[in-house]
């Protein structure tokens, strides 16, 4: 009965996508992100180095509208280069390549910020499902699924020691009226917060950890505690 209720509410879709994204991708790449950023910083000493930004910035648009090229989403975002590749044998595929792209983000004052940023790719699946009659996903259901995906992924990553301080989730709702540089402003806001955290650590004070513009409470999901993912076990089970 519980399984049928979950199936009807489609809660299993977002949960499954979040766990698959974590186990099949983030758990593999996030522990290596800082090393890749450090290697890039050593090879490019002319670029400002803020260690708090040495993480993967994961974009989660609740509209599930994912661009293949970030430059098309916002001209203030420009590709720089790819970070060092990670090559692993995975599920029968020899030398599967994992890599991240580094971008410069231009703010309103023409200052340049550098960071590794990419979309959460499972959102593409949610969007495709909302366009497919077989999935029977309405626009409203897609929005709820995107919120649930964010909440689930956030809880999973909070319980993952391997991924600690190697990511930043940037969840946002795009404005109804198109804004040319909305995305770059959103990313820069987070980079500034990370920069302030770096300064606070260097000065010996306790850094303030801000919530994102869309924190868990503001997503207003009607989910019981039992529906949320449980903390990851570290005892081997």
46: tokens are: 């002319």
pTM: 0.80
Q: Looking up tokens 């599920």, which residue turns up?
A: 91
Q: Is residue 113 part of a domain?
A: yes
Domain that holds residue 29: 9-204
Give pLDDT, residue 87: 87
Q: Is residue 164 part of a domain?
A: yes
Q: Is residue 209 part of a domain?
A: no
Per the structure, how many domains does the chain have? 1
Q: Is residue 72 part of a domain?
A: yes
Give pLDDT, residue 137: 73
CATH number at residue 190: 3.40.50.12100
C-alpha dist (Å) from residue 136 to 64, 105, 133:
16, 38, 5
Give CA–CA dist 85/98, Å, rounded: 6
How confident is the chain (237 residues) per 10-residue block, as mean pLDDT? 48 87 96 91 78 92 94 95 88 89 94 95 90 73 92 96 95 87 95 79 50 49 44 38
Q: Looking up tokens 């499902």, which residue turns up?
A: 129
- Secondary structure (3-state) at 45: coil
Dihedral (CA of 135, 1, 231, 222) sign: positive
Q: Is residue 225 part of a domain?
A: no
199: tokens are: 């300064």
């Amino acid at each position: 009965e519980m399984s049928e209720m979950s199936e009807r509410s489609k809660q299993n879709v977002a949960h499954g996508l979040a766990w698959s994204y974590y186990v099949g991708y983030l758990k593999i790449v996030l522990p290596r992100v800082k090393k890749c950023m450090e290697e890039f910083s050593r090879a490019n000493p002319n670029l400002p180095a803020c260690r708090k930004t040495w993480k993967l910035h994961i974009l989660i648009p609740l509209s599930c509208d994912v661009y293949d090229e970030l430059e098309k989403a916002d001209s203030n975002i420009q590709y720089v280069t790819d970070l060092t590749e990670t090559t692993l044998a995975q599920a029968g595929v020899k030398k599967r390549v994992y890599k991240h792209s580094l971008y410069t983000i231009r703010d309103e004052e023409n200052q340049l910020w550098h960071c590794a940023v990419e979309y959460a790719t499972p959102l593409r699946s949610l969007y495709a499902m909302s366009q497919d009659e077989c999935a029977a996903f309405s626009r409203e259901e897609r929005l709820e699924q995107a919120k649930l995906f964010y909440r689930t992924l956030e809880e999973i990553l909070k319980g993952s020691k391997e991924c600690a301080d190697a990511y930043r989730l940037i969840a946002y709702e795009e404005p109804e009226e198109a804004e040319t540089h909305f995305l770059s402003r959103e990313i820069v806001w987070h980079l500034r917060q990370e920069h302030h955290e770096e300064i606070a650590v260097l000065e010996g004070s306790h850094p303030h950890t801000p919530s994102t513009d869309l924190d868990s409470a503001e997503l207003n999901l009607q989910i019981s505690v039992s529906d949320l993912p449980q903390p990851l076990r570290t005892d081997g089970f």
